[in-house]
């Protein structure tokens, strides 16, 4: 777990928790794309001398813990990874011409957080994210109750209850 990397005059441990989404948060990461994308991300990270240590592809977002050399900016590595993977997806699954640049797959931006002493917590979070999302979805419920003659919907989903009137 705790591996301090080194170059001739540098010692470092630069790990980041990264999350990014497909454009419009469409549930676009599924089937064959999902099976192949993990290896594509790992190959692209190696091209920037980085290593994806943990990762999980959800239908509507990507979680990864990546170790990046200090000579590279996080934005440089993630921008490269998102850009080249979008081109790969467009060429393999887009059914378009060979020179497709894949501009329309990933949304702009990403979430990045440094990984320090909480490395194991973040690894567990990434590993169990899909199961946690399913558990929360199962907790979602719809309650129909008369309130002054109208129907009211209550929905649980990681936020306080609120009534929505039809």
Catalytic positions, written as ranges: 125
Q: What is the DSSP letter of 116?
A: S
Q: Which of 153, 155, 152 is nearest to 138 (CA)?
A: 155
Residue 67 phi/psi, 5° resolution?
-100, 120
**What is the SS3 assignment for 118?**
coil
Residues 6+ away with beta carbon under 8 Å from 10: 70
What is the side-by-side strand order in the sheet with 145-147? Answer: 145-147, 150-154, 163-165
Q: Is residue 62 within 8 Å of residue 20, measured between CB atoms?
A: yes
């Amino acid at each position: 777990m705790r591996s301090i990397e080194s170059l001739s005059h540098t010692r470092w441990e630069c790990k980041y928790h990264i999350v990014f989404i497909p454009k419009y948060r469409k549930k676009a990461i599924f089937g064959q794309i999902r099976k192949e994308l993990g290896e594509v991300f790992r190959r692209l990270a190696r091209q920037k001398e980085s290593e994806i240590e943990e990762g999980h592809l959800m239908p509507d977002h990507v979680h990864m813990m990546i170790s990046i050399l200090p000579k590279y900016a996080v934005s440089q590595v993630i921008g490269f990874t998102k850009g080249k993977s979008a081109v790969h997806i467009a060429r393999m699954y887009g059914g378009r011409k060979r020179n497709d640049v894949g501009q329309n797959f990933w949304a702009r931006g990403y979430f990045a957080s440094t990984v320090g002493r909480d490395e194991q917590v973040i690894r567990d979070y990434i590993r169990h994210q899909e199961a946690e999302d399913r558990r929360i979805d199962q907790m979602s419920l719809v309650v129909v109750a008369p309130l002054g003659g109208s129907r009211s919907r209550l929905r649980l989903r990681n936020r306080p209850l609120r009534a929505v009137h039809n």
